[in-house]
Amino acid sequence: MAPIEERGNGRPVRAGSGAGARTARRRVVASPAMELAAFFPYRLAVLADTVSRAIATVYANRFDLSRDEWRVLAALGESASMNTQAALASTTLDKVQASRALLRLERKGLVEREPDAADRRNRILRLTAAGRVLYRRIVPMVKAREAFLLETLDAGERAALDAALDRLLERARALEARTVAGS
Residue ranges of E strands in 7-119: 12-14, 27-28, 82-83, 111-115
Residue 1: pLDDT band (50, 70, 90) is very low
Instruction: Determine the Cα–Cα distance for residues 56 and 41; give it in Å rounded to an integer.
Output: 22
State phi, psi for 6 to the nearest 5 degrees. -110, 140
Per the DSSP assignment, residues forming a β-bridge with 4 are 14
Answer yes or no: are the C-beta atoms of 14 and 2 closer than 8 Å: yes
Per the DSSP assignment, residues forming a β-bridge with 111 are 127
Q: Which helix (H) or strand (E) holds 124?
A: strand 123-127
Please list the residue range(s) of the chain that carry CATH number 1.10.10.10: 36-152
- pLDDT digit string (tens) for 126-170? 999 999 999 999 999 999 999 999 999 999 999 999 999 999 999
Burial string for 131-168 (b: 16+ CB within 10 Å, else e) reads beebbeebeeeeeeeeeeeeeeeeeeeeeeeeeeeeee
- pLDDT digit string (tens) for 51-110? 999 999 999 999 999 999 999 999 999 888 898 888 888 888 888 999 999 999 999 999
Residue 15: pLDDT band (50, 70, 90) is low
pTM of the model: 0.74
Is 113 in a helix, a strand, or coil?
Answer: strand
Burial string for 46-73 (b: 16+ CB within 10 Å, else e) reads eeeeeeeeebbebbeeebebbbbbbbbb
CATH of domain 36-152: 1.10.10.10
Answer yes or no: are the C-beta atoms of 55 and 61 closer than 8 Å: no
Question: Which has more pLDDT, 172 or 32?
Answer: 172
